[in-house]
Amino acid sequence: MARKMSQQFMEALNGKNHVLITTRKDWTVDGVATALAIKSVLERRRTNVDVIIDGFSPGPTLSFLEGIDTIRPAFGQLQKFVISLDVSKSKLDELSYDVKEGRLNIYVTPKEGRFRDKDVSTAASEFKYDLIVTVDTPDHDSLGRLFSEHTDLFHQLPVINIDHDTSNEQYGNLNLTDITATSCAEVVHGIFRETPENTLDERVATALLTGIIAKTRSFKSPNVTPRTLDAASVLVAAGARREEIVQQLYRTRSLATLKLWGRALARLKHDPETRTVWTLLLRQDFVHAGANEEFLPEVIHELIVNAPEAEIVSLIYEQESAQETGKVSGVCALVTSERHADALGLVSSLRPEGDRRLARVCFPGVKIMEAEKAVIGSIRASLGKGPHPTWPLVAEEASSARPTGS
């Protein structure tokens, strides 16, 4: 008989002293909130835990989540460099060191005899972590520099992979994936609910309910099930602060965001055949709103929330020149999909960057109307609704910064 997820999870934690929890570089609220919930539970078991997300900068929206300020954007030192000296034959008398001209000099004096070159060896210590937990992360590459610059860490340590998405590549030593769940928070709630320990306090319940509400757009998404609603009721009963969650996620917006969203709504377009909704933002819209490209995640999120009939959402915007303030250098487009499995595939002919959840494509030196035709034409073609657009220009040198979702 197959073991339950909760049993597998708890067995994988046995004997572990320092756990790393992480999620994708283009993090979601679900991924972050679930990571914090797991952190809280493990710390209660007296386990050392770090949550690290490449380049993480949450902004004020998630400030209500306890522990959000403990999430780090990069690794510190993962290992120590060990210099070993064999003192079995010549006992140590004195030890000192200094640093000269950028070199560390270590001086050792034996009580008798002398030390030889063969008595010295060097090695790297074991990693400070002994287990990795990934949340809402379809593959290693989604982790950004955490993986690309530290591949040996992920290959040498056991990994628990928690997800609910069909695109997950099952890369973990233990894969706790449930494609019938609405969110990672729902998966983890199921795990915690089955454990003999009482893991659901107010802090954990609030974090998990935040993940569920964010991923289901406050229970408006079509994949909400009776199990989802049951989980939410259990979390509220455990002390989850539902009103605060909804207030922070959906009712708290800066004036700049509201102004930019207003301009986006004024140009909203709809293709009923492909169930695509898109809009255009000009450089002057950013100027008048007092906003920049960092506000785009909230704008595209509002489009998703307020266009429930849309399966594909695109935000096409003029990009400011890095060399000359106020000058347009080209056009970029964000494409996300609620139903289709691969946002990258929707605009694959335009050489997008990003991942299956959110694609980004840029057109240096191109007018916004031309870029609009290319993006929407590519989406229609990928869905078999028309030919691929004739497009001599390709996306290149897009900014590495990518927006985050819910």
pLDDT tens figures, 173-210: 999 999 999 999 999 999 998 887 778 999 999 999 99
Residue in 330, 362, 332, 361 with CA at minimum distance from that of residue 347: 361
Sheet strands (E) in 323-373? 328-337, 353-354, 358-364
pTM attached to this predicted model:
0.78
CATH 3.10.310.30 residue ranges of the chain are: 255-382
Q: Are 275 and 311 in contact (CB under 8 A)?
A: yes
Is domain 255-382 classified as CATH 3.30.1490.100?
A: no
User: Which H or E run contains 343?
Assistant: helix 343-346
User: CA 64, CA 245: separation in Å to the nearest integer?
Assistant: 8
pLDDT values of the chain reduced to their tens digit, one per residue, 406 residues: 356 888 899 899 989 999 999 999 989 999 999 999 999 999 999 999 999 999 998 878 899 999 999 999 999 888 788 889 888 888 888 899 999 989 999 999 888 888 888 888 887 778 899 999 999 999 999 999 999 999 999 999 999 999 998 889 999 999 999 999 999 999 999 999 888 777 899 999 999 999 999 999 889 888 899 999 999 999 999 999 999 999 998 877 778 888 998 999 999 999 999 999 999 999 999 999 988 887 887 788 778 777 777 889 999 999 876 655 656 778 999 998 866 668 889 998 898 988 777 889 999 888 999 999 999 999 999 998 877 766 554 444 433 334 444 5
What separation, in Å, do the N-terminal and C-terminal C-alpha atoms of the chain show? 36
Distance of CA 363 to the CA centre of its chain: 26
Q: Residue 279: what pLDDT?
A: 94
CATH 3.90.1640.10 residue ranges of the chain are: 5-76+128-249
Residue in 125, 126, 128 with CA at minimum distance from that of residue 20: 128
Q: How many residues does the chain have?
A: 406
| One-letter amino acid of 381 | A
Could you tell me the two tokens for 369? Answer: 């109307």
Alpha helix ranges (H) inside 318-405: 343-346, 368-382
Query: From the CB of residue 303, how many other CB atoms can be counted at a distance below 10 Å?
Result: 22
Under CATH, to which class is 5-76+128-249 assigned?
A: alpha beta
